Amino acid sequence: MYNLCITNDEVRRMQYSSVFTRQKMMRTALLALLPVALGSVYFFGWRHVAVGIAAALAGALAEYLVMRSINRDKAKVSEAVFVTAALFTLSLPPSAPLWLALIGMLFAIVFAKSAFGGFGRNIFNPALAGRCFVYIAFPAQMTMQWPQPFSGFPGGFAHWSAQLSADTASSATPIIALNAGGAPAPLGSLLLGATGGSLGETSALLIALGAAYLIYKKAASWQMMASTLLGAGLLSAVFWLTGLSQASPLFTLLSGGLLFGAVFMATDPVSAPNDKTVQWIAGGLMGAITVVIRTFSLFTEGMMFAILIVNALTPLIELKYRQYKQAKKARAKEAVA
Amino acid sequence: MKKGHIYTLLFMVALTGVLVFALAFAYEGLKPGIAGHARLRERRAVLDSLGLAQGLSDGEVDEAFERLVKPGELNGHEVYVYEEGGQTLGYAVPITGPGLWGSISGYLGVKGDLSGLLGLVFTSQNETPGLGGRIEEPQYKEQFRGVPVSAGSPLSYGDHGDYRVDAVTGATQTSKAVLSMVNRALDAVIFDKEAN
Amino acid sequence: MADKAGKIINRQLFTENQVLRQVLGICSSLAVTNTMSNSLVMGLGLSFVTALSSMTLSAMRSIIPHRVRMLAQTLVIAVYVILVDLFLKAFLPEISKTLGPYVGLIITNCIIMGRAEAYAQKNPPLPALIDGFFSGLGYTGVLLMVALIREVLGFGTVFGMNVNFAGFETWTIMLMPPAAFFIIGSFIWLLGARAAKKAAKTAK
């Protein structure tokens, strides 16, 4: 912490590549987010783009300063901070204030990433950890204010921000409306994104485009995505058929942050497991826990908590799986000998 | 100094004896005061739920409670009965239920003729301070005084013409939990319908 | 042979602070630091218990058999903790209700046992009293610092007096124990970095 001072000389000598580590996979991730990001502007206006840029700059600065106190002159900021900023901003409600985004981003970078040692060493998904922090710290801004999306042409591209309507009943997200006793929103609107919700989560179609690109470029594991959706879908079917929940499996999969989380958050290369089998287990757990939280608890958000919980359990699952495989190998060897 | 086993045993017995005696002595001395405080808090809550606790000092709480309230039962449930001048003017029903973070407990005051509420008071809750915790604030609790009740129409938030109750802003879950608790208590105790 | 009072005080308050350097007594630090008045009462209660139990154990140190010393320590500490609990219940019932089970849990606070083992059994009663009391004060100091952050950001008050300004949104998470985790963690991080830097400098 006592090496925070940067000299003038150092600033002059700084070039992009001496400060940032180039990461091809992160650039692919940003490209994959492009459809969702453009969609978020169409639905909700331009304001959050400015918020996102501010968050990215704040995060980069924070990471640089903290890494500097750890690594002295060799400190570099990973390009992953831009992906974290994008994911974090897209997971916020459209009306989230700038200060809230900055607080969340700083928490994510300082406590969920740099405190563990920087890129490659974090256990938890930083964007999600930041979101969880502001979700609990500022419940009014995070759960109560949902502007309705623009429609038509040019939609939000011609607006700075979407208006919050005074009528709380209509300015809810599909899940909130369902929990309040309303009919489930039509699947078409969930697919296209004509509903309220966080910036990135409303349009299943745009998320699917991003997923396709990520899988095509091999930048994210399709096993993580598939297992999460499978786990959620199966458990949701069970709850729906037994009458425990009003949400049909298709509604569960297309509403809330499930799709966005499964495609962009669960697949974070650092916090997700490496082994494919463990990925199936972890993803399945993430989906199942999401459905459990959505059905039985008073929270409407399940995915965020589920991913963080499974992040915490992943090292244990990987360890047990490794031991199991070693035991199997040892037994096979004995059988041969 | 080498100490033998006998010494160790005797020492522990003696030490335990001395300390326990000292503690018991202190406890006995302070017990009336402690029990008094707990009882006072409970009594004040019961009186408040019946709308009788305004501006009462601690001494007056005891006097009022003994004069006006006594334990009784209603439809098979234990309640406090508020009687004055030979007439049953109200019931204080103990209520409890799950909140967002833990369970919430308190008393619901109901009019003697079972037509409306006298008040709502909480004795314990673990809700988010500043949000759900605000159910303990007068602004929220006072709304319940005088709200009419009848079997078959559970209370809900909003303006209903003959009464208006608003949830705590930003604490939807806790507010919902409180109203569920109240409605359940009304069904079970006042209107004698077993909740399903 | 016995330490001078000044050295004991400096050690307990700063260089070997129980919470930030020895990382003891964390559990209650997380729970009671939501307001400064809770922290103050808790801290004073702990200081009282640690001081008197250290003094008592030190006075008895020549007659306590070595193999049951932990039993004896636990007994003595428990007695003082129960006395504090009874005192609060009888004379400060509102504070007792707010602190709840954490008063009774003072017995589990490692600081007290730590001082009893590390200091009281090898030193005379008066230095033990001072050591115990100031280790409790060091703990209280940390608690107050954490509580200041938590109360200002979470309630907008300091000791119940309003200090927030228009447009300030309170941070709900500051009212919950996890916030204390992060705050204490940050303090330990800062002090640890400072100590490491000092050590690196003297090693050169």
Taking CB atoms and an 8 Å limit, are C194 and A137 in contact across chains?
A: no
Give the closest residue to A106 by CA, choosing from A64, A138, A48. A64
3-state helix, strand, coil in chain A (%, to 5): 65, 0, 35
Interatomic CA distance for residues A75 and C165, integer angstroms: 38
Give the closest residue to A135 by CA, choosing from A166, A101, A109, A182. A101
ω into A186 cis (within 30 of 0) = no
Chain A residue numbers with beta carbons less than 8 Å from the beta carbon of B173 are 298
Lowest pLDDT segment from A252-256, A324-328, B2-6, C79-83: B2-6
Taking CB atoms and an 8 Å limit, are A115 and C189 in contact across chains?
A: yes
> Which amino acid, A337?
A
In B, minimum Cα distance to C177 occurs at: B128
**Residue B46 Cα, gap to closest chain C Cα (Å):** 18
**What is the pLDDT tens value at each position of chain A, 337 positions in all?**
344 556 666 666 666 766 777 778 888 889 999 999 998 888 888 898 999 999 999 999 999 888 887 777 677 788 889 999 999 999 999 889 999 999 999 999 999 998 888 888 899 999 999 999 999 898 888 887 888 888 777 777 878 877 776 555 455 788 888 877 777 888 888 888 778 888 888 888 899 999 999 999 988 889 999 999 999 999 999 999 998 888 888 888 988 889 999 999 999 888 999 899 999 999 999 999 999 999 888 788 889 999 999 999 999 999 999 999 999 999 988 888 7
Q: What kind and span of H or E run contains B83?
A: strand B77-84
Distances in whole angstroms, Cα of residue A240 to Cα of each of A99, A187, A235, C64: 40, 16, 9, 66
Is residue A243 domain-resident?
A: yes
Q: What is the pLDDT of residues C173-196, one digit of tens each?
A: 888 888 999 999 998 888 888 888
Taking CB atoms and an 8 Å limit, are C172 and B33 in contact across chains?
A: no
3-state helix, strand, coil in chain B (%, to 5): 45, 25, 30
Does residue A270 contact residue A118 with C-beta atoms inside 8 Å? no
Taking CB atoms and an 8 Å limit, are C172 and B130 in contact across chains?
A: yes
Q: Indicate if the pLDDT at residue B162 is higher than 60.
A: yes
* pTM of this structure: 0.78
In A, minimum Cα distance to B99 occurs at: A298
Give the closest residue to A127 by CA, choosing from A218, A26, A213. A26
Q: Indicate if the pLDDT at residue C18 is higher than 70.
A: yes
Interatomic CA distance for residues C66 and C81, integer angstroms: 23
> Which amino acid, C194?
R
| pLDDT value for A9 | 64
Tell me the mean pLDDT in the region C5-20.
Answer: 82
- Which chain C residues touch B if contact means CB-CB below 8 Å? 34, 62-68, 71-72, 75-76, 79, 82-83, 86-87, 89-91, 93, 97, 154-155, 170, 172, 175-176
Lowest pLDDT segment from A221-235, B42-56, C70-84: B42-56
Interatomic CA distance for residues B91 and B117, integer angstroms: 9
Chain A residue numbers with beta carbons less than 8 Å from the beta carbon of C190 are 1
**Residue B17 Cα, gap to closest chain A Cα (Å):** 49
Chain A residue numbers with beta carbons less than 8 Å from the beta carbon of B177 are 298
Interatomic CA distance for residues A109 and A126, integer angstroms: 7
ω into A154 cis (within 30 of 0) = yes
**Residue C6 Cα, gap to closest chain B Cα (Å):** 32
Interatomic CA distance for residues B33 and B31, integer angstroms: 5
Name the token pair of A44. Answer: 């909700």
Rg of chain A over Cα atoms, rounded to whole angstroms, equals 21
CA dihedral over C157, C162, C163, C169, signed as positive or negative: positive
Does residue A305 contact residue A289 with C-beta atoms inside 8 Å? yes
Domain hosting residue C77, numbered range? 5-203
Of B12, B30, B130, the CB nearest to C68: B12
Interatomic CA distance for residues A288 and A270, integer angstroms: 22
The residue among B5, B6, B13, B15 with the most chain C CBs within 10 A of its CB, best to mutate, is: B15
Of C66, C72, C93, the CB nearest to B15: C72
| DSSP designation for B50 | T
Of B23, B41, B129, the CB nearest to C79: B23
**Residue C22 Cα, gap to closest chain B Cα (Å):** 30
Give the closest residue to A148 by CA, choosing from A132, A118, A130, A169. A169
Is residue A317 domain-resident?
A: yes
Q: What kind and span of H or E run contains B111?
A: strand B103-111
Q: Indicate if the pLDDT at residue B89 is higher than 70.
A: yes
Is residue A212 domain-resident?
A: yes
| DSSP designation for A148 | P
Taking CB atoms and an 8 Å limit, are A137 and C174 in contact across chains?
A: yes
Name the token pair of A264. Answer: 């962009």
Q: What kind and span of H or E run contains B110?
A: strand B103-111
Taking CB atoms and an 8 Å limit, are A298 and B170 in contact across chains?
A: no
Q: How many residues does chain C have?
A: 204
Interatomic CA distance for residues B176 and B163, integer angstroms: 17
Name the token pair of B162. Answer: 């003959």
CB pairs under 8 A between B and C: 58
Domain hosting residue A302, numbered range? 190-336
Q: Give the total number of structural domains in chain C.
A: 1
The residue ranking higher by pLDDT, B15 or C13, is B15
Beta strands in chain C (DSSP E): 157-158, 161-162
3-state secondary structure of A164: coil
Q: Indicate if the pLDDT at residue B8 is higher than 70.
A: yes
Residue with tokens 């979700």: A135
Distances in whole angstroms, Cα of residue A88 to Cα of each of A47, A206, A254, A279: 15, 17, 20, 23
Which class for A247: exposed (0-12), middle (13-18), buried (19 or more C-beta within 10 A)?
buried
Distances in whole angstroms, Cα of residue B24 to Cα of each of A47, A244, B17, B190, C54: 68, 53, 10, 44, 22
Taking CB atoms and an 8 Å limit, are B100 and A298 in contact across chains?
A: yes
Is residue A16 domain-resident?
A: no
Interatomic CA distance for residues A332 and A146, integer angstroms: 58
**Residue A117 contacts C where some CB pair is shorter than 8 Å:** no
**Residue A186 contacts C where some CB pair is shorter than 8 Å:** no
> Which amino acid, B58?
D
- Exposure string over A40-73, b if 16+ CB within 10 A, otherwise e: bbbbbbebbeebbebbbebbbebbbbbbbbeeee
Q: Give the total number of structural domains in chain A.
A: 1
Does residue C103 contact residue C85 with C-beta atoms inside 8 Å? yes
Chain C residue numbers with beta carbons less than 8 Å from the beta carbon of B58 are none
Of B100, B170, B176, the CB nearest to A144: B170
Chain C residue numbers with beta carbons less than 8 Å from the beta carbon of A136 are 172-173, 176, 178
Interatomic CA distance for residues A110 and A125, integer angstroms: 13
| pLDDT value for A18 | 67
Interatomic CA distance for residues C41 and C32, integer angstroms: 9
**Residue B7 contacts C where some CB pair is shorter than 8 Å:** yes
Name the token pair of B159. Answer: 């303006």
Is residue A83 domain-resident?
A: no
Q: How many residues does chain A have?
A: 337
Q: What kind and span of H or E run contains A57?
A: helix A47-71
